[in-house]
Amino acid sequence: MKYKAIIENMTLDEKASLMSGKDFWQTQDIKRLGINSLFLADGPHGIRKQAVAADHLGLNAGIPATCFPTAATVANSWNQELGEKVGDYLGDEAVSQQVSVLLGPGINIKRNPLCGRNFEYFSEDPYLTGKMAAAYIRGVQSHGISACVKHFAVNNQEERRMSIDAVVDERTLREIYLTAFEIAVKEGNTKALMTSYNRLNGEYTNENMHIMKRILREEWGYDGVVITDWGGGNDRVKGLLAGNELEMPTTDGEADQEIIEAIRRDEIKESVLDEAVDRVLDLVFSTQQASQRPTTPFDVERHHRLSQKVAEESIVLLKNEEAVLPLQFSQKVAVIGDFAKDARYQGAGSSIVNPTILDHTLYCFEESGITSIGFEQGFDRYGKKDPQKIKNACDLAKQADVILLYIGLDEVTEAEGLDRANMQIPENQIELLHALYEVNPNIVAILSCGSAIEMPWIDKVKGLVHGYLGGQAGARAILRVLSGDVNPSGKLAETYPIEYEDTPSYRYFPGNEASVEYRESLYIGYRYYDSANVPVLFPFGYGLSYTTFEYSNIQVTRAGVTFEITNTGEKAGMEVAQLYVTGPSNHIFRPSKELKGFTKVFINEGETKTVTIPFDDKAFRYFNIKTNQWECEEGTYQIKIGASSSDIRLEDSLFVEGTNAPTPYQPKLLPSYYNGAIKDVPLHEFEQLLGRNVPNQNWDRTKPLGYNDIIAQCQYAKGTFARLAYHAIVFSYWFLRKIGKRSTANLIMMSIYYLPFRGIAKMTGGIVNMPMVDGILMIVNGHFFKGLRHVWKERKKMLKKKKERLAKLS
Ligand code: BGC
């Protein structure tokens, strides 16, 4: 232990007090030993340091900070150096606000396009995600503070995120859902990691010995701090044993007491606590020099400019018929769409940043050199169809050479805590587009949304620029692409299916009442579309440029692949070249190809550059469930270099020696997986892959409700009061939506409806404690007066204990 001397000097109470928050954002300090608090703040694309009112839902504004493009956006840049720069600037701002741990990056894999938090995550591909995440972490931590990679792991949906059991086979877990974390830990050297709310194969991730101990600590050698997601703690002692050092936010000493009692009862050794304390102290002492410096303002303008540059490199040009873009200087342009007035630049929830500056398209027009003949709103962002607005927009459109149509998803639709209901943009925007097309078909649509959408209307636009969620300078960045000042170089980090029904997890998302089965296994995103030959709207890795690139001269050695790229157009530009590998045989099922490397190069017009992408330890490995380790299959691999996952420009092969591991599967028993036809995997076949039966899919309606049941289950409760409360919640949700208060309605769903009973205490440390939750559960289960008395009695006890504890610690 690094801090043995200090730890030996600490009382048991003091040690346990470091195991959970002092308040919503800070850890306990111990003045007499010179141990300061850590200040933790969201993350991930800007600092959300709440100086006054604290919450994890993004309700109360943080101190102004630069709102950088969200991870879904930056991933499109495929530029690790740029990712590191973002991390660097984030780190700078964190230090200037005395933040010691920045809660990001979020690196969950985009299993399904409807996940409400996809805008916060990088990609459907673990390799790209991991590399970008490691870059961010390096940048943040170069300032002497800590990043906190999240949410470990398999948190791929918002619906029932605090109770759902994700049922995943071991190989898929390793290859798809853990690889990015592995890269973040090993290459990013993250000092902190946040566990997710959900269960994984039956255990809360925070207590899951398999991922927390065996994989994270033993295999990856992680020696940093593990933090629960806010209110995500369950059994504190189990969590500690699995290696969770810090439960957040405060539990008002309650969870610490559980640890103390478990030690006194000899259920756990004090040395387990000592080791956890040692790691927390390491985080405190190694970050305090940076985070305890007197506050210094950061350079707001410089940070804003970087934010713009990042947005510029992340914009994806999806369509450019008849070279409608870049716009010509002499063209008269009509600007239409609510998003041109109020930019859509980030998502909702705990990641909300209070921006220092905010660019809107209409303000930046003059400097863009584009000649605007006027603006019309065209639609209400949150409203229904408005014929007058459409008419006004069409009148303006008639006078223009080109229409710039700003459309997308609104802030309420892409939010933490709730998944999207479908992949469409609002109907009133589509109606506007159709009407405009009738009067002037020269339409360039500019999309603002942080996740994939369906585009049945795509034939009605000549140009399509996807700005994603470009942060506070995103609007200006888009104008620079439209005007040609910036040559677009972003490529999609996720596939755009033609329709939602095409997605591989369509039938398995968001799962059953109690569990979600990952029956599609390895086949997510392009891994599925490619293997099953399903046509898509835009493939993974796709993006256009104002110039063209040719690939030539591939040479493959055991060390890597070298080739040339020539800029054959008339404009300098950047190209993202992607390395895909196809396995050597069909003994072990695999997606038809997988991303194993990438690079981004700037090339002047007419110039040729030689590029090398090395093979790393991920290039040829697969996880063998028989040997329970990474293996390499011997044989000849296809090495493919693509401008996207479906635009392979060069191909060669390479013989790779294997590790001679036994074949882990019997192909006859897993036909869907061997064919890549995983849209409707029968239960018995999934169980074969899993190696066990699936757990209960639905809630148990026969038992009284307990800590880990959710409030939505009150509909089946014995207590009349609980059933009434349930109907009141459902009614309020319905009513609020009816009167157009969608965001308040969403809050009800995320913070009440899906909350487990234990969450009432875990989210409100100091107001309600677990014994009071016992009383609430008595009420719910039909013992109204007994429960009420219990709540009252326990509250009095809690207040008394609190006084005693504070006296002891001070
Ligand atoms: C989110 C985390 C966030 C935390 C603190 C949680 O609800 O899942 O990503 O860091 O709140 O705001």
* Residues in CB range of 124: below 8 A, 6 or more apart: 109, 110, 111, 493, 494, 495, 524, 525, 526, 540
* Ligand 1 pocket, residue 56 CB under 6 Å: yes
pLDDT digit string (tens) for 68-108? 999 999 999 999 999 999 999 999 999 999 999 999 999 99
Report whether 180 contacts 133 (CB < 8 A).
Answer: yes
Distance CA 584, CA 26 (A): 51
Task: Say whether pLDDT at 809 is over 70.
Answer: no
Q: Please give the Cα distance from 709 to 759 (Å, whole number).
A: 10
Is any ligand 1 atom within 6 A of the Cβ of residue 120? no
Query: Can you tell me the distance from the alpha carbon of 295 to that of 39, in angstroms, rounded to the nearest whole number?
Result: 14
Q: What is the pLDDT of residue 62?
A: 84
Of the pLDDT bands very low, low, confident and very high (cuts 50, 70, 90), residue 802 is confident
Q: Does the structure show a pLDDT above 80 at 59?
A: no
Average pLDDT of 606-615?
98
What are the tens digits of pLDDT across the range 266-279?
999 999 999 999 99
pLDDT at 775 over 90: yes
Residue of higher predicted confidence among 368 and 106:
106
- Residue 52's pLDDT is 66
Kindly report the average pLDDT of the chain as a whole number. 96
Residue 810 pLDDT exceeds 70:
no
State the pLDDT at residue 594.
98
- Percentage of the chain surpassing pLDDT 90? 92
Pocket test for ligand 1, best of 103, 149, 228, 353 (most atoms within 8 A of CB): 103
Question: Does the beta carbon of 230 lie inside 6 Å of ligand 1?
Answer: yes
Q: Is 150 in the pocket of ligand 1 (CB under 6 A)?
A: yes
Pocket test for ligand 1, best of 60, 193, 350, 352 (most atoms within 8 A of CB): 350
DSSP per-residue string spanning 735-804: HHHHTT-HHHHHHHIIIIIT-BHHHHHHTSTTTS-HHHHHHHHHHHTT-HHHHHHHHHHHHHHHHHHHHH
Ligand 1 centroid from CA 142, angstroms: 23
- pLDDT, mean of residues 527-554: 98
Q: Is 70 exceeded by the pLDDT of residue 321?
A: yes
Q: Which two tokens stand for residue 173?
A: 């877990």
CB 139 within 8 A of CB 85: yes
Q: Per mean pLDDT, which range of 374-388, 587-601, 796-810 is the poorest?
A: 796-810
Q: Whose CA is nearest to atom 11 of ligand 1?
A: 56
Q: What is the mean pLDDT of residues 13-31?
A: 97
> Considering Cα of 700, then 706, then 710, then 713, what sign does the dihedral take?
positive
537 pocket-lining for ligand 1 (C-beta < 6 Å): no
Distance of CA 61 to the CA centre of its chain: 21
Cα–Cα distance measured from residue 647 to residue 406, given in angstroms and rounded to the nearest whole number: 29
Q: Is the pLDDT of residue 746 over 90?
A: no
Determine whether the shortest distance from the Cβ of 22 to ligand 1 is under 6 A.
Answer: no
Pocket test for ligand 1, best of 23, 24, 56 (most atoms within 8 A of CB): 56
Q: Whose CA is nearest to atom 12 of ligand 1?
A: 56
pLDDT of the residue at 251: 93
pLDDT tens digits along 189-230? 999 999 999 999 999 999 999 999 999 999 999 999 999 999
Does the predicted TM-score (pTM) go above 0.85? yes
389 C-beta closer than 6 A to ligand 1: no
If phi over 0 gives left and psi between -120 and 50 gives alpha, with beta otherwise, what is residue 296?
beta
CA of 2 to the centre of ligand 1 (A): 30
Ligand 1 centroid to Cα of residue 230, in Å, is 6
If you search the block for the tokens 């008595």, which residue do you land on? 778
Q: Which of 146, 162, 138 is nearest to 228 (CA)?
A: 162
Pairing of strands 629-632, 549-557: unpaired
Which residue type is seen at 426? Answer: P
Give the C-alpha separation, 186 to 184, whole Å: 6
* C-beta 158 within 6 A of ligand 1: no
- Give the model's pLDDT for residue 384: 82
Q: Three-state DSSP class for 563?
A: strand
In what helix (H) or strand (E) does residue 373 lie, and over which residues does it extend?
strand 371-376
- Show which residues are catalytic: 229
pLDDT for residue 119? 98
